[in-house]
Amino acid sequence: MSEATRPASASAPAPAPLANLRDLGGIPVRGGRIRPGLVLRSDDVATTTPAQVAELVEAGLSTIIDLRSAQEAQRTGRGPSADHPLRYLALPLTDAEAAPPELAGQFLASVRTPEHVGQWYAKIFTGRKEALVRGLEAVADAPGTVLFHCAAGKDRTGMFAAALLAVLGADPEDIADDYSLTQDRMPEVYRRMGLAELSAGADIPLDHPVLAAHPAAMRTMLAVLDSHSGGITGVLRAGGLTTDLAGRLHGKLVQPVPSGL
């Protein structure tokens, strides 16, 4: 096993089951609902257990999209997923450390509300639109289940989920609702990452907007993109999204709802 596929630092968290893994299946979109079992979002898969990765592979996992920075990926590598013949696509949405505690330390003074977080999301989304479209292409092309993740499964993962859901025609409130499901999982995410104590030592409250998943943050991102960039799908079209790609995603992922239901 190469150093690039295994944790590169003794400071990497001990393996533990994922705390923020969930299926996008069932979310209502244009013409139906997302089919269960095809698209998963998660916190850092590199630090989960070999048993959990094996279970995911047995259930159909074929592709992992890693949204972490190169620095983060170097620290924890790919973990046990490297032991399986999975397609791995690195698509950094940030250039540097972007796990929530690091962000809270950087933005403690300037980011005081969920709306500030959403404005930051909009800047990243616009700046990384080409990478987001590459990720959507990977979802469309995958022969099995796709799992996308960052460190906590909140910020960058939430942005990618928003991109996918918007292309499929999800209502903005459903996009915000999916994002906010992470909120109840954050304490366990931080325990899993070994960062709850770090946050306390740095005097950063765990309800700091950067550490939380308030729906207002995602609503703000969507509103900013609507007002300045032609909406979320307009940004993605500028990044290379085509009608063909949108159609392939819809055909693969959307389960029609029978009339009358």
Domains of the chain and CATH, by start? 3-244 (3.90.190.10)
pLDDT at 99 (0 to 100)? 56
Q: How far apart are CA 151 and CA 192, in angstroms?
A: 11
Inter-residue contact 160 to 135 (CB < 8 Å): yes
Mean pLDDT over residues 30-41, rounded? 98
Q: Which two tokens stand for residue 244?
A: 């063909």
- H helix count then E strand count, the chain: 12, 8
Q: Alpha-carbon distance 105 to 40, whole Å?
A: 29
Question: H/E element holding 216?
Answer: helix 215-228
Residue 48 makes CB contacts below 8 A (sequence gap 6+) with 15, 16, 17, 18, 79, 80
**Per-residue confidence (pLDDT) for residue 197, from 0 to 100:** 46
What confidence category does residue 76 fall into, taking pLDDT thresholds of 50, 70 and 90?
confident
pLDDT surpasses 50 at 200: no
Residues 122-180 pLDDT 10s:
999 999 999 999 999 999 999 999 999 999 999 999 999 999 999 999 999 999 999 99
Nearest to 234 by CA among 122, 67, 146: 122
> What pLDDT, on a 0 to 100 scale, did the predictor assign at position 75?
85
- Return mean pLDDT, the chain: 88
Q: Assess contact for 87 and 138: CB atoms under 8 A.
A: yes
Residue matched to tokens 């300037």: 110
The three-point CA angle 152-130-110 to 5° equals 50
Residue-level pLDDT at 259: 65
